[in-house]
Structure 1
Amino acid sequence: MLGEEGPGVRRGLLPGGVAGRRPAGLAVRAGGRPAPAARGLVADQLGGPAVRLLAETLPLDAERREKSALWLSFVTAARTRPELRPRAAELQAGLDELVRRVLVEADRSGALAPGLDLDLETRRLSALLDGLTLQAVQHPDLVGPDELHAVLRRHLDTLAAS
């Protein structure tokens, strides 16, 4: 069952009826495909559109922070409850596919530095989003929306063509 929608993101339900999102934003559509589409979002440079899309996966407000806390509880439970593992893996695969599509489109547009290993950069950016989500959930007073955006923008800057 799919729930509310945001800009390019479909939010779903976790097993057991717990409303939640892949780090504050990404869930997977029926059929296992991620809802967001990266094509056309990165035109001339890696930046604004990519930042906005990827920021949707971060806990930038109280509602997303709460949903991120639910996601964190769910993936933690999935470590010891085998019946939850497929859904946890599906959520991770959805985030990875979103990140990969953003990077592929940025590369096609010439926005990325030449020669980047997109598999490695996908894992690196996905891990960054997960880590930022974890920190924002654990320390909301220390890691707020401004810091989340700044770190994401800085990371994307390191990938950009000169």
Structure 2
Amino acid sequence: MELDAVRERHWSLVGRVAQNSASVEMCLRSLMIGLLDSKYAGVVAAGQSASDLVENCIALMQANQEISVEARNRGLDLLRSLKPLFAQRNNVVHATWFPSTREDALTEAMSLVSKRRTPLRPTLINYAEVEKLSSDLNEAIGKLWEWTYGEVGEAARRPQVNY
């Protein structure tokens, strides 16, 4: 197996996951801005991690009395469905990958996942699962935009204070 082809496959997969997750984070920031409905919401949402954005949007959505129960439940389900995607994303994007030297080098790799204060954990990365993660994140972008602008509307586009 040619090492350059293996590297290209790896970089392509990591790049797609990183790009799609960044787009989901952008959608989450817009949702949080809309739910806060303040000209300062962009300052509050800026720089938050994806996990924090999800948790804060869940809290804001639960507190919002202007969203119907049905819409709230759909939104909460959508937000909760992002949690495992971002956990997978972290393992893909932040782990060190070691391509296999066997015949399956273009279908899987070994990675070393390191969580806070825990030793490195070898993990098998299946490229098909990473492609599905990328697709799931990409699908979430559309769902988040649709929910945000369908339920929160103009508040998500409110002019923000420049910071």
Structure 2 length-normalised TM: 0.31
- Which has the larger helix fraction? 2
Which has the greater radius of gyration? 2
What TM-score do you get using the length of structure 1 for normalisation? Answer: 0.31
**Structure of greater relative contact order (alpha carbons < 8 Å, 6+ residues apart):** 2
